[in-house]
């Protein structure tokens, strides 16, 4: 996972979608956080959805233990239908 400053982090996230997808399907699935720990995802952590290709979702989530950390995560599927895992693309710490 890349550690980026805020400007680079938002650039990496890409174009923000104008609607929020229902992310409750991913609740309790783990992801690697920018803080260095692994956390379970919950849909209330989803800051915003960003455009991706295909069925994958890309979003910024805030660390549940330290809100200074944000992580850009992307969904990964097996055979285009079964959720496999989250991939942590980048992290950012605000001061």
9: phi then psi, degrees, rounded to nearest 5: -60, -50
Q: Answer whether 40's CB lies under 8 Å from 51's CB.
A: no
pLDDT (tens digit, 9 = 90+) per residue, 8-17? 998 898 877 7
pLDDT (tens digit, 9 = 90+) per residue, 35-63? 999 999 988 876 666 666 667 788 889 99
The pLDDT of residue 49 is: 66
Mean predicted confidence (pLDDT) in 8-36: 86
Going by C-beta distance under 8 Å and a sequence separation of 6 or more, which residues neighbour residue 78? 84
What is the spatial distance between Cα 70 and Cα 34, in angstroms, rounded to a whole number? 6
Kindly state the tokens that stand for 58.
């890309």
The answer, yes or no, to whether residue 65 has pLDDT greater than 70, is: yes
The answer, yes or no, to whether residue 1 has pLDDT greater than 70, is: yes
């Amino acid at each position: 996972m890349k550690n980026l400053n805020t400007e680079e982090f938002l650039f990496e996230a890409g174009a923000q979608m104008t609607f929020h997808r229902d992310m409750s399907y991913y609740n309790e699935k783990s992801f690697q956080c920018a803080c260095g720990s692994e956390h379970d995802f919950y849909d209330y952590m989803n800051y915003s959805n960003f455009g991706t290709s295909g069925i994958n979702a890309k979003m910024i989530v805030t660390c549940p233990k330290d809100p200074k950390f944000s992580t850009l995560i992307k969904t990964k599927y097996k055979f285009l239908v079964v959720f496999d895992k989250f991939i942590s693309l980048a992290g950012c710490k605000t001061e």
